[in-house]
Amino acid sequence: MDGELHAKFWWDTTSVDTDYATHGLHPYPAKFIPQIPQRAIDLFTEPGDTVLDPFCGCGTTLVEAKLAGRNAVGTDVNPIATHISKVKSTPIDESTLAAVPPLLDEIRADVAGLYTDSFGDGVIDYERPEFHNRDHWFEEHVQHELAVILAHLRTVEDADLRDFLTACLSAIIVKVSNQESDTRYAAKDIDIAEEETVTEFIASVERNLEGIRYLTEHAGDGTVDVYDMDARNVEALDDDSVDLVVTSPPYANTYDYYLYHKMRMFWLGMDYREAQAAEIGSRYKYSSQKEDPETFFGNIADSLAEMERVLKPGAEAVFIIGDSVIRGDFFEMDEKIEEICRDRSLTVVSQIEQELSTYTSFNKSFGSQEKHEYIIFLENRA
């Protein structure tokens, strides 16, 4: 069975399209390829079933469930994640999208007005948000352009369209900041030209209109619900209500999701501190704060207990996780998951693995320590 599963669930990621539909709408670190939830949904569910991703991240599982005509539920503690997930899995009809071109024309004209002799005379009323080190992270003219764009987006009456356009703006905020990259929280001089920010925003919208149209055309009848909620307590779901879980928790001591999205949260009026406190497995907690690794394994155990609670008897969970190194100690996560599930009804029935040094999207130091990534198949044998 393992060989058959390996053939069904592993791809050379250089040879498959991972950005179709809305999957490429927004940058997000370490997302799994959509073919994994797509295949799991096809193998383990029927139309109308409910699929849960309690660490939904940027919504890959939710998009695939929507395309397959399944109901989907996603939860995450990061508000950027839940915003993106909601947008990526929500169809928008063509009559609503018709409002986009004239709005973009208005935005471009107002941004151009920032650079007239009277600087901003006649431009829409706008405010730049106040946050620590704002001028360190953003050039002044970039701040004005972002604020003008946001002011226009707040005038959009249709909530789904407003959320879509806001996600398109969020997608380019790090690019026009002085933050080095989406996965490196360090400042460098980027030298963004005048009107480059609005040009990047318009390009983001126009590129993503194609994806949202694809989703709208191919979406099935299933519902998608996204919650700002902790995977250790998915209180929105009843016992025995889910037909399949497909998820990937953060890999311990690897990323700080709250940190890499911090600039976005500042601009969109979100509180990064709540995400920071609730995030499981962050480098901040295990490298900076020296938290006990057993805390991470306890958090994973609690999230698996919630999956067991909400899964129907006989239902499957597909759990993607990678090995971790915390302060020099190496942890093989397949063994840890086996240990956590030893006396539970949620039982490991199979797994496949791959060297992260071959397929990882992480930096070289992460993939060079003989780490493996696992797709672990669990069944609720309640």
Q: What is the pLDDT of residue 120?
A: 66
Cα–Cα distance measured from residue 249 to residue 266, given in angstroms and rounded to the nearest whole number: 25
Q: Look at 66 and 123; give whichever has higher pLDDT.
A: 66
Domain coordinates in residue numbering, the chain: 2-91+222-258+280-380, 94-218
Write down the pLDDT at residue 360.
43
Output the pLDDT for position 184: 79
Rounded-to-integer distance, Cα 124 and Cα 151, Å: 7
pLDDT at 289: 86
What is the predicted pLDDT for the residue at 87?
A: 98
By the 8 A CB rule, do 234 and 54 touch? yes
Mean pLDDT of 137-151: 97
Please state the rounded mean pLDDT for residues 241-270. Answer: 94
Mean pLDDT computed over every residue of the chain: 91
Residue 4 CA to residue 8 CA, distance in Å, equals 6
How much is the pTM?
A: 0.93
**Nearest alpha-carbon partner for 304 in 294, 318, 291:** 318
Predicted confidence (pLDDT) at residue 198 exceeds the cutoff of 70: yes
pLDDT value, residue 375:
92
Helix segments in the chain, DSSP class H = 2-9, 35-44, 60-67, 79-88, 94-97, 100-113, 134-137, 140-153, 159-173, 196-218, 257-260, 262-268, 272-278, 283, 293-310, 333-341, 356-359, 364-367
pLDDT tens digits, 261-309: 999 999 999 999 999 999 998 988 988 888 899 999 999 999 999 999 9
12 confidence band (pLDDT: 50, 70, 90): low
pLDDT digits (tens, 9 = 90+) for 175-184: 999 998 877 7
- Average of per-residue pLDDT across 248-267: 92
State residue 2's pLDDT score.
65
From the centroid of its chain, how far is CA 250? 11
CA distance 52 to 74: 6
Query: How many angstroms separate the CA atoms of 143 and 127, rounded?
Result: 9
pLDDT for the residue 365:
42
pLDDT, tens only, 328-373: 889 999 999 999 999 999 999 999 887 654 444 433 444 445 788 8
Q: Is 220 left (phi over 0), alpha (psi -120 to 50) or beta?
A: beta
CATH number 3.40.50.720 given to 2-91+222-258+280-380: no
